[in-house]
Structure 1
Amino acid sequence: MFGDISGMMGKLKEAQQKVEETKKRLDTVLVDESSSDNKIKVTLTANRKIKAISIDDSLLNDAEELEDYLIITLNKAIEKASQINENEMAIAAKSGMPNIPGMDMFK
């Protein structure tokens, strides 16, 4: 009725391994984002870890302006990284999942 339980368990373990491999790989995928005038540039991984921030000297005299630039640019970069992360993790999870009737949650 439920098929080969050990086969399904093997597939689940395989899916978990693919997810872990994808997490590691996403640490090497870099996302670059810049403010519209290129005064702020940020780089982060697809796992949303900040790797670099570059700030134009003209922003160093105005803390409020600098904060605004950082918030906007970091949020855009995090959004891009999150989209990449979610797409890649869904693919990894789906690829190793066993075919269980009624459990087609990744469509």
Structure 2
Amino acid sequence: MFGDLSNMMGKLKEAQDKVEETKKRLDTVLIDESAANGNIKVTVTANREIKAISVDESLLQDKEELEDYLILTLNKALKRAGEINEQELAIAAKSGMPNIPGMDMFK
């Protein structure tokens, strides 16, 4: 019984290590998004960190329009980053989990 418990604890540690490795890797996954008209471009990591924002000079004349485009474009980029993040972390966690009957939470 204790051998099984020890093996299970080892598998859980492996799963935790895989999740941490995945988090580090997701810092290098870049997502580019732009406004429909291309006047704003943003780059974020899959860990939802903003890396770059590029604004066309034509938007500098209209503060409200600039703010609207920034919000829309950042939200699109962060949504995509969140989806990638969740999917990758779920895969990493599931791959290292021991097979415990009744614990199939990552289907």
Partner of 2:62 in structure 1? Answer: 62
Structure 1, unaligned runs of 5 or more: none
| Aligned: 1:86 with 2:86 | yes
Alignment coverage as a number of residue pairs: 107
TM-score (norm 1): 0.97
Moved over 6 A (4+): none
Structure 2, unaligned runs of 5 or more: none
Partner of 2:31 in structure 1? Answer: 31
Alpha-carbon RMSD: 1.2
Partner of 2:103 in structure 1? Answer: 103
- The Cα of 1:52 is off from its aligned counterpart by 0.2
Q: Which amino acid aligns with 1:73?
A: T
TM-score (norm 2): 0.97
What is the aligned-residue identity percentage? 79
| Counterpart secondary structure, 1:106 | coil
CA distance in 1, matches of 2:3, 2:62: 66
Greater share of residues in helix:
2
CA distance in 2, matches of 1:92, 1:39: 37
Q: Which amino acid aligns with 2:86?
A: E
